[in-house]
């Protein structure tokens, strides 16, 4: 104890119990003074062992708390009601450019490296303290002491005293710059993949194991009219009825983890038969099973394949046609010549005929009477007509089989169509079956289409053949509500000129359409059609002019023959 005047200063010290145990005490007392002289001291010792133990424990806890604050992988700070820093952990101080947390005490955000964000931080702080409500896990930028911008995920909560009054706030944040870059890159990749998927001309549909839609690209939206939001989680058969028949294969593909394909599946759309390839790709990822269905419209490819097959058929028939034509020509010429001779010798009043009849004891008049009664003049006429018809067939076969020197010059296709119309109106054989003049003609010639290099006579042959076939087909339809009509169109189609000849006839089913350009194929009764008209026309367009020829048709919807010719003429 230290004696100071009339009092003894208390001190902490250690005393020992009689059993030898050290005891922490506070010694306090008063001096005894007699006649102004110190004669003794009255002393009192207080055992503070428990208190010292508690203080030591408190210091250990404080050190542990500081260690925890400085070790956790987040930045921690706390402020008073004036938004001044009361403290922080070491990582926060280092982020701010300080070596010790105590250097921040009393500062505000205007005095920090992130002055550019100080106003926003202060506004957030005040909002939390005024409302007394935490703001958690929001993202905000921060400028570093080096001048870089990083991204933080911040949380702020109000601090309250024992009376529940808000006395400040506690905040934490994590640097999420790398994560944000990764998320942005992931989003960029997602957008990139989404753009690829949505740019594909194929329909892409994702389904889970139960057949519910999980993915739906832009082409699927266009085909079905359903948005992804409307189709999501819907059963595939509801969202995409055309694929209802594929459910069994989809489940089998998922179960066997095997890609399955179906080719050239026919589907009727707007009265037209279209073809699709359907491919099912199984998906297994992270224990989640499903499939992606790709639907490709291969209608044009199928038609191109049909046209290639058609070309092969016609080329293969070419050699046969030439040989047959030459072999038939000789006896045919004999038939025609002898039929003409028979007609002259039996029916004509030639001097030689009269002399021969007189020598036989009959007259030419009697012979003619007999022949007429027996119908021989008609038979001879039929022989002659059939011979001429056969000769025309041979001519067409030779035209089909033989490449000749063509005279190519530039012509307006509308003019050639008009000339073919004039020929059709005066054709006697056509007029026997119908009156072509009663057919309504609608012309749609694009004035922007200039002359096209072509062989005029051959194109007229093609146009006339299509017009004749169309007129005969329309004659079979007895429908006053839909009178016979042709629509003739000349259309600018980029490097091509497209000619369309559309009739209002009965149309064709798919089976007939597939074979319409085959040599010798005809739908007319026996004896009325050769089956070479359209095949020769096809040959003229594709081989002689380097173009294409197709037909768009369906039953009871008429037929439209489509010819495309290159503006620059046939490529060598």
Measure the CA angle with vertex 205, ends 259 and 305; round to 5°: 65
- 134 is written with which tokens? 């935490």
Which of 506, 512, 431 lies closest to 473 in space, CA to CA?
506
Phi-psi region of 271 (alpha: psi -120 to 50; beta: other; left: phi over 0): left
Q: Which CATH superfamily is domain 72-180 in?
A: PAS domain (3.30.450.20)
212 DSSP 8-state letter = B
- State residue 192's pLDDT score: 92
What is the Rg, in whole angstroms, of the alpha carbon atoms belonging to the chain? 52
Predicted model pTM: 0.46
One digit per residue, pLDDT tens: the chain, 572 residues?
A: 555 555 667 888 888 888 888 888 888 878 888 887 777 778 788 888 888 888 888 888 888 888 888 889 899 999 999 999 999 999 999 999 999 999 999 999 999 999 999 999 999 999 999 999 999 999 999 999 999 999 999 999 999 999 999 999 999 999 999 999 999 999 999 899 889 988 888 999 999 988 899 999 999 999 888 999 999 989 998 898 888 888 888 889 888 888 999 888 888 777 778 889 999 999 877 677 899 999 998 888 887 777 676 666 666 666 666 677 777 888 888 888 888 888 888 887 888 888 888 888 888 888 888 888 888 888 888 888 888 877 776 765 665 455 555 578 899 999 999 988 877 776 544 444 567 778 899 999 999 999 999 988 889 889 988 998 888 888 877 667 678 899 999 999 999 999 999 999 888 888 888 888 877 677 766 555 556 778 888 988 998 888 999 999 988 888 999 999 999 876 54
Residues 6+ positions from 380 with CB-CB distance below 8 Å = 339, 342, 343, 346, 347
Give the C-alpha separation, 546 to 538, whole Å: 11
- State residue 93's pLDDT score: 94
Fold annotation for 202-297: Beta-Lactamase (3.30.450)
- If one counts every other C-beta atom within 10 angstroms of the C-beta of residue 60, the result is 10
- 250 is written with which tokens? 């989809």
Q: In the chain, what is the straight-line distance between the N-terminal and C-terminal CA atoms, in Å?
A: 124
- State residue 428's pLDDT score: 46
From-to residues of CATH 3.30.450.20 in the chain: 72-180, 202-297
Return the residue matching tokens 């070419």. Answer: 318
Asked: is 409-566 a CATH 3.30.565.10 domain? The reply is: yes
Give the C-alpha separation, 460 to 421, whole Å: 9
- State residue 165's pLDDT score: 95
- 310 is written with which tokens? 């058609």
Measure the CA angle with vertex 172, ends 168 and 178; round to 5°: 155
The 3 state secondary structure assigned to 285-314 is ECCEEEEEEEEEECHHHHHHHHHHHHHHHH
- State residue 549's pLDDT score: 93
């Amino acid at each position: 104890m230290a004696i100071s005047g009339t009092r003894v200063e208390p001190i902490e010290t250690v005393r020992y119990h009689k059993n030898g145990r050290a005891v922490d005490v506070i010694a306090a007392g008063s001096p005894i003074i007699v006649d102004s002289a110190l004669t003794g001291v009255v002393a009192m010792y207080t055992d503070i062992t428990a208190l010292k133990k508690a203080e030591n424990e408190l210091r250990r806890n404080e050190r542990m708390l500081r260690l925890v604050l400085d070790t956790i992988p987040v930045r921690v700070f706390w402020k008073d009601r004036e938004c001044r820093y009361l403290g922080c952990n070491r990582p926060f101080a280092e982020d701010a450019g300080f070596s010790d947390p105590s250097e921040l005490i009393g500062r505000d955000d205007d005095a920090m490296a992130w002055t550019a964000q100080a106003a926003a931080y202060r506004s957030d702080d005040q909002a939390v303290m005024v409302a007394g409500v935490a703001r958690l896990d929001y993202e905000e930028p921060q400028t570093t002491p080096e001048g870089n911008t990083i991204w933080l995920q911040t949380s702020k909560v109000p601090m309250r005293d024992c009376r529940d009054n808000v006395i400040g706030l506690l905040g934490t944040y994590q640097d999420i710059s790398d994560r944000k870059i990764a998320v942005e890159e992931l989003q960029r990749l997602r957008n990139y993949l989404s753009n690829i998927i949505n740019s594909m001309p194929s329909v892409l549909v994702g389904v889970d194991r139960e057949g519910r839609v999980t993915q739906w690209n832009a082409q699927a939206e266009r085909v079905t009219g359903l948005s992804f939001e409307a189709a999501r989680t819907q059963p595939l058969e509801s969202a995409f009825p055309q694929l209802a028949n594929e459910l069994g294969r989809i489940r089998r593909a998922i179960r066997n983890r095997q890609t399955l394909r179906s080719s050239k599946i026919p589907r009727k759309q707007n009265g037209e038969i279209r073809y699709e390839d359907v491919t099912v790709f199984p998906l297994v990822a992270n224990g989640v099973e499903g499939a992606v269905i790709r639907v490709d419209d291969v209608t044009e490819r199928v038609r191109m394949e049909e046209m290639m097959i058609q070309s092969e058929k016609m080329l293969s028939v070419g050699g046969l046609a030439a040989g047959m034509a030459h072999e038939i020509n000789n006896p045919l010429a004999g038939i025609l010549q002898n039929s003409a001779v028979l007609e002259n010798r039996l029916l004509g009043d030639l001097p030689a005929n009269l002399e021969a009849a007189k020598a036989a004891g009959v007259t030419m008049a009697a012979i003619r009477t007999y022949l007429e009664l027996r119908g021989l003049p008609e038979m001879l006429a039929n022989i002659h007509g059939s011979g001429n018809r056969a000769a025309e067939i041979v001519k067409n076969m030779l035209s089909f089989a033989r490449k000749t020197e063509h005279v190519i010059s530039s012509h307006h296709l509308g003019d050639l169509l008009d000339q073919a119309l004039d020929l059709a109106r005066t054709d006697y054989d056509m007029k026997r079956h119908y009156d072509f003049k009663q057919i309504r003609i609608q012309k749609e010639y694009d004035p922007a289409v200039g002359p096209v290099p072509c062989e005029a006579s051959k194109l007229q042959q093609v146009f006339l053949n299509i017009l004749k076939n169309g007129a005969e087909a329309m004659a079979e339809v007895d429908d006053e509500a839909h009178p016979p009509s042709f629509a003739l169109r000349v259309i600018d189609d980029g490097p091509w000129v497209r000619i369309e000849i559309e009739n209002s006839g009965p149309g064709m089913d798919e089976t007939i359409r597939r074979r319409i350009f085959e040599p010798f194929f005809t739908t007319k009764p026996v004896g009325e059609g050769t089956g070479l008209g359209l095949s020769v026309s096809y040959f003229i367009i594709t081989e002689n002019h380097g173009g294409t020829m197709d037909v768009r048709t369906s039953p009871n919807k008429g037929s439209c023959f489509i010819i495309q010719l290159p503006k620059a003429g046939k490529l060598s």
